[in-house]
Structure 1
Amino acid sequence: MIYIYNDYGGTHTTSLAAAYHLKQLPQSERKLTTEEILNVKYFNQLTNEDFGKIIFHGNDEDGNSVYTIGRKRSKLVVPALKELTLLLQEKYHFDEKIVLSNTSPTVPIAMSIGGFFSRGLKIDFIGVPLLVKGAKQCCDNIFRLVENTKHVASTSFNENVIILENEMYK
């Protein structure tokens, strides 16, 4: 199975989701510390050149690959990934299940503003504290989103491509 966590920038909530998924963060809904947040691989480190790239984060305890992607404002990235997967499955008898899980609904306003300052304007002394505050606000939702993503993936036997919009985390 392949998991791909996606959102606007691909560097904040997606990185946290990948870290939770790979058990690199505490497996609970407790608030993360500033140090835990800032030590997450790729957190607040990607640039404009990384948008649209599928970034590998590691394999989980079941051997499933975990990736992230920043899709910007494009609503076509996820459907395109689904269509490409279906094409590869049909043409090459590729039978790996793909799970695309949207982390955008978990993003609080502090994280959006922090991302704009830090990644957009390169003003880290304003952006990073806001990103950390936002991550602390939403980490419990991200943890639950990851747990739900894994549950849906393990119980959906007839679907080769699963798209989770995760609107319940708004």
Structure 2
Amino acid sequence: MIFIYHDFGGTHTTSMAAAYHLKKLPYNRRLHKDEVLNIKYFNKITKHDAGKLIFHGKDDKDNLVYTLGRRKNKYVSKSLEELATLLQKEFNLEEKVIISNTSPTVPIIMTIGGFLAKGIHMNSLGTPLLVFGAKQCCFQIKDLVLYTKKMSRSIDKGVVVLNNKQFK
């Protein structure tokens, strides 16, 4: 299976989701500042990386885990769905593809922190807000990852798109 977590920038909640998916973060408690800052790719992806699939690793079942920053393009997940369906149909790709949106988990404080840190390069103000936001939404992201994994097992389709609006 291939898991793709996506949102606007592809660097905060998506990186957290990938880390939870790969069991690199604790599931049973709120994250600490150092844990947030040490998440691979957290606050390191730039707007120039938009549209790139970033590989995070293989999970304990040998599934591939990627993240994607889609920027303002709301059609990216639809394009991924269409491409995966085409590859399955025309080239006998047998891998199930799960496309999961992490945007609903983003708290406003993280949006502000991301704008300050990434948008106008004020890391000294933006990074603490990002860490605060990450600590605030970590349980939602963990739940989103668990839900994504559950849906990957229960939906019998080659490509599964999860908008995850219930996590708002």
Within 2, Cα distance between the matches of 1:18 and 1:39? 13
1:145 aligns with 2:150: no
1:9 counterpart SS class = coil
Stretches of structure 2 that go unaligned for 5 or more consecutive residues are none
* 1:48 Cα deviation after fit: 1.4
1:44 counterpart SS class = coil
Letter matched to residue 14 of structure 2: T
Within 1, Cα distance between the matches of 2:131 and 2:6? 19
Within 2, Cα distance between the matches of 1:85 and 1:20? 24
Letter matched to residue 2 of structure 1: I
1:161 aligns with 2:159: yes
Letter matched to residue 164 of structure 1: L
Q: How many residues align?
A: 168
* 1:27 Cα deviation after fit: 2.2
TM-score norm. by structure 1 comes to: 0.97
Stretches of structure 1 that go unaligned for 5 or more consecutive residues are none
Q: Which residue of 2 aligns with 1:2?
A: 2
1:57 aligns with 2:38: no
Within 2, Cα distance between the matches of 1:27 and 1:58? 18
Within 2, Cα distance between the matches of 1:48 and 1:150? 28
Q: Which residue of 2 aligns with 1:75?
A: 74
Within 2, Cα distance between the matches of 1:99 and 1:145? 13
Letter matched to residue 160 of structure 1: G
Q: Which residue of 2 aligns with 1:11?
A: 11
Within 2, Cα distance between the matches of 1:27 and 1:133? 18
Alignment of 1:43-54 (within 5 A): 43-54=42-53
1:88 aligns with 2:79: no
* 1:92 Cα deviation after fit: 0.6
Q: Which residue of 2 aligns with 1:135?
A: 134
CA RMSD of aligned residues (A): 0.6
* 1:111 Cα deviation after fit: 0.2
2:93 counterpart SS class = coil
* 1:35 Cα deviation after fit: 0.4
Q: Which residue of 2 aligns with 1:24?
A: 24
1:24 counterpart SS class = coil
1:42 counterpart SS class = coil
